[in-house]
Amino acid sequence: GQTLCVNDVANCAVDIVLRASTMRHHSGTHLLHASLRKILGAHVEQAGSLVNAERLRFDFSHGGAISPAELKAIEALVNQQVEQNAPVNMQEMPLEKAKQKGALAFFGDKYGDVVRVVSMGAFSTELCGGTHVKETKEIGLMKIVSEEGISAGVRRVEAVCGPRAVVYLSRD
């Protein structure tokens, strides 16, 4: 391997296919979170997440199992929001203003005085510093692939978006 030294020139490139897939899964996570809160109740709060080009995993507070009908409704609500093609807006603002706008913030988390608010139409507003699609339709499709309890009062949903969802649905 080579060693980089001060003043060396380096070329960096983002893999645009992997980045686009990650963006779909990340924006899908925001829509999933909002859908969970609308279907299951406002007690739902994020307890952890993983987002990458392959899938999304979302852990959240909820006291019991989620019925197949509820899962179907959650997935349908996400996909309805995808179809509405809402713009994804990002704004920096003081934390207090973000709270007034109704941005979801989890108070175990540490935030600076200025935060980044990501909103998807009127449906989802959260504090987030990550990479996202420009419009919800870019997510393509979300398919929930699993749901389980991982500890007392915490559930986990895993899902795939876009081409990954199409591959999942067309598997034998």
115-131 residue pLDDT tens: 999 999 999 999 998 99
Q: Is the pTM of this model over 0.85?
A: yes
Give the integer Cα–Cα distance in Å for 69 and 116.
Answer: 34
According to DSSP, the residues that pair with 159 across neighbouring strands are: 56, 144
Q: For position 109, what pLDDT does the model report?
A: 60
Q: For position 84, what pLDDT does the model report?
A: 97
Question: What residues contact residue 159 under an 8 Å CB cut-off, 6+ apart?
Answer: 25, 28, 32, 55, 56, 58, 75, 142, 143, 144, 145, 165
The segments of the chain whose pLDDT lies below 50 read none
Q: For position 24, what pLDDT does the model report?
A: 98
According to DSSP, the residues that pair with 134 across neighbouring strands are: none
Give the integer Cα–Cα distance in Å for 162 and 155.
Answer: 24
Residue 114 · residue 94 · CB < 8 Å: yes
